[in-house]
Amino acid sequence: MITKNKKTVFILFHVHKRKNQEDDEKIIGEYATKRAGEMAITRAKLLPGFRKFTRGFIIDKYEIGKDHWTEGFMTVNPGQKVKKSQPKYKIGVYKI
């Protein structure tokens, strides 16, 4: 999709919690329009696994050629506390 000379893409993710409470995140696909992503959700809901976790679909719009994570990051292990003096980065682990 081209909007004011900016190219965008719609990325379809699926996320659900595992029994150990960790997130299971998957990228399903990249689409030129939000509608195409919605149609992919309809198809995915028929597949094993996805049909059991139908609420985990997320479509995010991204501008191509732009940094989207512009802050650093840190990994916090279970039980570890974050010190107030530590930089305020986004906290977490993104699994692909």
Check: pTM over 0.95? Answer yes or no: no
- Predicted confidence at residue 24, as pLDDT, reads 83
- Is 43 a member of any domain? yes
How many angstroms separate the CA atoms of 55 and 41, rounded?
A: 10
- Is 89 a member of any domain? no
- Predicted confidence at residue 48, as pLDDT, reads 94
- Is 31 a member of any domain? yes
37: how many CB neighbours lie within 10 A of its CB? 23
| pLDDT string in tens for the chain (96-residue length) | 544 567 999 999 999 877 777 778 899 999 999 999 999 999 999 999 898 889 999 999 999 998 888 888 777 777 777 666 555 544 444 443
- Is 90 a member of any domain? no
Tallying the residues shown for the chain, one arrives at 96
- Predicted confidence at residue 96, as pLDDT, reads 35
How many angstroms separate the CA atoms of 36 and 52, rounded?
A: 22
- Predicted confidence at residue 4, as pLDDT, reads 59
- Predicted confidence at residue 87, as pLDDT, reads 54
- The 3-state DSSP class for residue 12 equals strand
- Is 8 a member of any domain? yes
Q: What total of structural domains would you count in the chain?
A: 1
